[in-house]
Structure 1
Amino acid sequence: MEYRLGEFCIYDEREKVVIESVTALLEQSYWANQRSLDVIKTSIENSVCFSLFKGEKQIGFARVVTDFASVAYLADVIIDEQFRGQGLGKWLTETMVNDPRWKDKFKFLVTDDAHSLYSRLGFSSSGKLMSTKV
């Protein structure tokens, strides 16, 4: 699928992922800045990936690990530092949460930050674990 918002576009096709961009994005994070390229590639191969672009440049990334039956785990939600504060993280997360493949499934993520964003999207907190009710 392709989702558009002005000059930005989200794709949920693994083929659209620019591995060099995702690696650079994850290097900006506190949770994945030490991940090897092999681990990043394996995580992408085993997830439904959402890539956020401005033109030809990938500026955001997130992935969903799911069994497509009962659970969906949101992982590696990140927006390039230069593009934060524009609502793009919210849009990316809303796009993922509302995807019909797991819209009515139990969704969760583990995070140290952005709790207010995730709570506005229906997640509730138990420490670092954020989850939605089915």
Structure 2
Amino acid sequence: MEISYKQYVISDDKSRIDVQTVLNFLANSYWASRRPPEKIKKSLQNSICYGVYHNDKMIGFARIVTDGATMYYLCDIFVLEEYRGQGISKKIVDVISNAPEFEWMTGILGTQDAHGLYEQFGFVRDSERFMKRLPQGRKIL
């Protein structure tokens, strides 16, 4: 899957992920700064990954852990600082939360400071930090 957004491309092609950019960003994040690089690399191998690209430079990222049937965990979302304020994070969450493979699943995530972003896509606070999104598909009677 590849989607154009403004002058950016959002892709789930894992071969395009710039692992060093992910490692560098997560090393300085509040949520993953204690993860060893080898664990981050393994998590990339075992997850669905989305990258956001400006020309060929990766400037954003999101990772999804899922059982492929009932739930997904949305995590490690970031946009490099110099690209923020352009709606890129919002577009990543939009692409993922409206993807046919995830719309019937319960989505969960953890955040300290971005509740408003995720609430726009149907996530609700489940505690102070965690949020969830119930499946959005049509009801079957």
Q: TM-score, normalization: structure 1?
A: 0.95
Counterpart CA distance in 2 for 1:6 and 1:116 is: 22
Say whether the 8 Å CA contact 1:25–1:79 is kept in structure 2. Answer: no
1:33 aligns with 2:33: yes
Sequence identity, in percent?
A: 36
Considering only aligned residues, what root-mean-square deviation do their CA atoms show, in Å? 1.1
- Once structures 1 and 2 are overlaid, which stretch shifts more, 11-20 or 31-40? 31-40
Q: TM-score, normalization: structure 2?
A: 0.90
Say whether the 8 Å CA contact 1:66–1:72 is kept in structure 2. Answer: yes
Instruction: Give, in angstroms, the shift of residue 133 of structure 1.
Output: 1.7
1:130 aligns with 2:128: no
Counterpart CA distance in 1 for 2:125 and 2:48 is: 24
Q: 1:28 to 1:55 in 2, by over 3 A?
A: farther
Instruction: Give, in angstroms, the shift of residue 28 of structure 1.
Output: 3.6
Counterpart CA distance in 1 for 2:81 and 2:33 is: 14
Q: Which residue of 1 is the match for residue 85 of structure 2?
A: 85
Unaligned 5+ segments in structure 2 are 136-141
Unaligned 5+ segments in structure 1 are none
Tell me the number of residue pairs that the alignment of Structure 1 and Structure 2 aligns. Answer: 134
